[in-house]
Structure 1
Amino acid sequence: MPDTESPLHGRTAVVTGAARGLGAAMARDLAGRGAKVALIGREERTLAQVRDSLPGTCECWEVDVTDDRGMARAGADIRARLGPPSVVVANAGVAAGGPFAESDPAVWRRVVEVNLIGSAVTARTFLGDLFDTSGYFLQVASLASIGAAPMMSAYCASKAGVESFAHALQAEVSHRRVGVGIAYINWTDTDMVRDADEYAVLRELRGHMPPPARKVYPVEHVAGRLVTAIERRRASVYMPRWLRSAQLVRAAMPPVVTALSRRELPRLATEEPFEATGLLGAGGRADQAGSRFPRG
């Protein structure tokens, strides 16, 4: 799409979790449509590599999205260097798997802090800008927002939380001409998902999902759909599109998942002991290395 055709041309867009994966792919797509992109993440060198690969005006800030003061400083610098944001994407997220009873409390808490509290800190940092620019806030959620799964309690709880947060924010700011959207995405080809597949129980549980629900989608394709939703200021976007139908049956999903788990988890436990994964993927390991909690 030519830059002049996009309403994002010349606008400032902020993307959290932009050092890799979906965040980096969205930054590339936003820059390709003419936006000035502010990349936020934990890995300064990787962020710089993404920044240097993008066309146009792009800058990066190494900051923890759960750090209110750090995010406030980054926000002030972004305004000074790129102008007030018109688009903010709360994408930063981590995940950890394993039985809840044996989970490390610090790791479990960190997943909720990054995914839920980090999204709220991101919104608080930039909401004043979005009021001024009549902008748009996109919250990246998940299939896990609709239907929870065993062995992923922290991730599912946090993604259900960001869905509720975004709905509340949507209702609160719509009269001020700020759009709020929720992106429901399924399995995407990121290092987090690839790392999860290295653990037998997580791989097997995904394998027992219906074929469309276990398909892994290219990250560039997912990013393109989400950036198009930003251009159109969608209240929700589903990737893949069939995921919208899960909303119609979400009340029936917990008993189905429970029945499947009651049958499959004992079998899987005899094949390989369940174990805590720690934070998944290179992004998770980078977050753990830079955070103030014990390394498990």
Structure 2
Amino acid sequence: MTENSYNLTGRVAVVTGASSGIGAATARALAAGGARVALLARRVDRIEALAKEIDGIAVPADVTGAASLARAAATVRAELGRPDLVVANAGVMNGAPFATAEPAEWSAMVDTNVTGLLNTGKAFVDDLVAAAADGRAADLVHVGSIASHEVFPGYAVYSATKAGVAALTRGLRLELGPRGVRVRAVEPGITESELGETMLDAEGRATLEDIRQQVGPIPASDVAEVIAWSAAAPARLNVAQLIVLPTAQG
């Protein structure tokens, strides 16, 4: 349960990457506010357990596949109705010096961080436009990163994918805003999560751990509260960009 609740009664929410970290925390925050929540992720056991906890539904999905997202969207509509709040959170972070990095890790980041957001938006855009046409709040939230603004050694490709997220958010805001859909980017700094745990480069993992220890990460629930707060704002208002950092990170 989150510390604060925001009025999201009647909303139908979708959260990708909901099996851990910011995604799981966001699902809890939205449910606490009264939303019915669909949890999308590949790790079925985790989202099934969380779905029981928050009285949501677990929908296995791989955001890198457009067909997988289309099937997930159909399941959400059948079980909860048309969603009006979509949090595209699924992401991968790999760090390594450019000269020695494994291209497969680059592909994983591009496929999830960029293509995954495109697939998510495409799967649910008609639902969001329909909600807005009915006079209801409609939100597409992209979870980006402070790395879209600050580049860290060894994380050039990750930063490039998150800069793409920021640009995509701005572009979709111009297209969908006039149709009543609020598109926003929430860009966290150092946050407690599983990001980076599977990267191949040992030095990259060590550097990330050093940064986390020096700065002190914020809990994922802090980012989730910001997402819930922004979604609960009046439909006429879009909080278009939110950078969420540990105070010590500056």
Q: Output the CA distance in 2 between the equivalents of 1:128 and 1:26.
A: 23
Amino acid in structure 2 at the alignment position of 1:139: H
Contact 1:12 1:85 in 2 (8 A): yes
C-alpha spacing 1:62/1:148, structure 2 compared with 1 (3 Å): same
Equivalent residue, structure 1, for 2:12: 12
Equivalent residue, structure 2, for 1:222: 223
Amino acid in structure 1 at the alignment position of 2:46: T
Q: Percent identity?
A: 34
Q: Output the CA distance in 1 between the equivalents of 2:70 and 2:179.
A: 22
Q: Secondary structure at the match of 1:192?
A: coil
Equivalent residue, structure 2, for 1:119: 117
Q: Output the CA distance in 2 between the equivalents of 1:53 and 1:192.
A: 23
Equivalent residue, structure 2, for 1:51: 51
C-alpha spacing 1:109/1:195, structure 2 compared with 1 (3 Å): closer
TM-score by length of 2: 0.86
Amino acid in structure 2 at the alignment position of 1:72: A
Contact 2:98 2:156 in 1 (8 A): yes
Q: Output the CA distance in 2 between the equivalents of 1:16 and 1:220.
A: 16
CA deviations over 1:114-151 (Å, ceiling 9, x no partner)? 00110011000000000011211001111101111121
Q: Secondary structure at the match of 1:155?
A: helix
TM-score by length of 1: 0.73
Q: Output the CA distance in 1 between the equivalents of 2:121 and 2:114.
A: 11
C-alpha spacing 1:118/1:208, structure 2 compared with 1 (3 Å): closer
Amino acid in structure 1 at the alignment position of 2:172: L
Write 1 or 2 for the structure with the bigger share of helix.
Answer: 1
Q: Secondary structure at the match of 1:29?
A: helix
Q: Output the CA distance in 2 between the equivalents of 1:26 and 1:147.
A: 24
Equivalent residue, structure 1, for 2:86: 88
Q: Secondary structure at the match of 2:242?
A: strand
CA deviations over 1:41-82 (Å, ceiling 9, x no partner)? 01011110111111x4x1111111011111111101111110
Contact 2:70 2:123 in 1 (8 A): yes
Any residues of structure 2 matched to 1:3-152 within 5 Å, and which? 6-54=6-54, 56=55, 58-134=56-132, 135-152=138-155
Q: Output the CA distance in 2 between the equivalents of 1:194 and 1:221.
A: 21
Task: Show structure 1 runs of 5+ residues with no match.
Answer: 247-296
Over alpha carbons, which structure has the higher Rg? 1
How far is 1:102 from its partner? Answer: 1.8
Q: Output the CA distance in 2 between the equivalents of 1:217 and 1:194.
A: 17
Equivalent residue, structure 2, for 1:188: 191
Q: Secondary structure at the match of 2:195?
A: helix
**Count of residue correspondences:** 237
Equivalent residue, structure 1, for 2:135: none
